[in-house]
Amino acid sequence: MVKTVVHHALNGLLKDLHATHGENLAAVVLYGSAAAGDHVELRSDYNLLITLKRITTEDLRLAQAPMREWRRLGHPLPVYFTVEELADAADVFPIEFYQMARARVVLYGQDPFEFLKLSDANLRHQTEYELRSKLIQLRRMYIPASVSVEKLRDLMSDSLASFAALFRAVLMLHGEDAPVAKPDCVRATVRRFGLNAEPFEKIFAFRASDYLPATEKEANDIFAAYMDQLDRVIQVVDEFDQA
C-alpha cells in the first residue's frame, strides 16, 4: 500500500517515534486516501494520527527531530491526541473521526477507534454547520469571480473538493457506505438524493483538464446550477432529524 520512498520514510518515522516517546507512545494510525487505497502518488498526503498517553510541551518539542525528514518529503505534520482526549473529542469532531475510522491502518499500538463511540446527532450538527459555512463563503467569493470565466472555473473546482469531503458525511448520516474518492462520493450523493449530476460533471471536467466554459454566461449558468444542488444537499441534512 505504502510504497518505495514513503514506505521507508514511514518505517523510519515509526522507529524514531518509538525512540522519542517510548512507553508514552500509544498508537500511530495512517488515515485517509493512503489507507483506503485511493492515494495518488506524489499528489495525495500521508495523514497520520499519533496518540500519546500524555502530551506536554516537552513531548511535542522532542517530536521535532523525528518529524524533520517526514516534513522534508512534503507530508503534513501528524495530528496529536492523548488517548483520553480522543474519546472526549468524539462529539466535537464527528466528521473527522468518522472518516478516520472508515479509512485507517494502525501502524503501531492499539487501534484508538476500536471502542470509540460516534453519534449521528453530533455528525448531523457538524455536517450542517460545515456545509452552511462553506456555502456562505462560496457566495462571497462568487461576487468578484462572477465576471471572469477563469476565476469561476477555479472557484467551482476548488470548492467542490471541500464539499465532496462533506458529502461523505451526508452519505454516512443516511446509512450509506460512502466512497473515499471524492468524485465517487459526489456521484453517490447525486444518486442517493436524486440531484442534477450535470453541474458536478462539468466541474469534474474542469479539474481533469484545461477545459473552460465557452462564455461568461455559460460559466455563470453552471455556477447557478451548482449552487442549487448544494442547497438541496443542505436541505437533506437539515431535515434529517425529522425523518
Concatenated DSSP letters of 127-149: HHHHHHHHHHHHHHHHHHHTT-H
* Averaged pLDDT, groups of 10, the chain, 243 residues long: 64 92 95 61 68 96 90 89 92 88 88 88 94 98 97 95 93 87 92 97 86 92 98 94 54
Radius of gyration of the chain (CA): 20
Residues 6 or more apart in contact with residue 227 via CB below 8 angstroms: 135, 138, 139
The domain limits of the chain are: 4-109, 120-242
DSSP at 54: -
Cell numbers given for 126: 457538524
CB atoms < 10 A from the CB of 142, how many?
18
pLDDT of amino acid 4: 57
Fold (CATH) for 4-109: Beta Polymerase; domain 2 (3.30.460)
DSSP state of 78: P
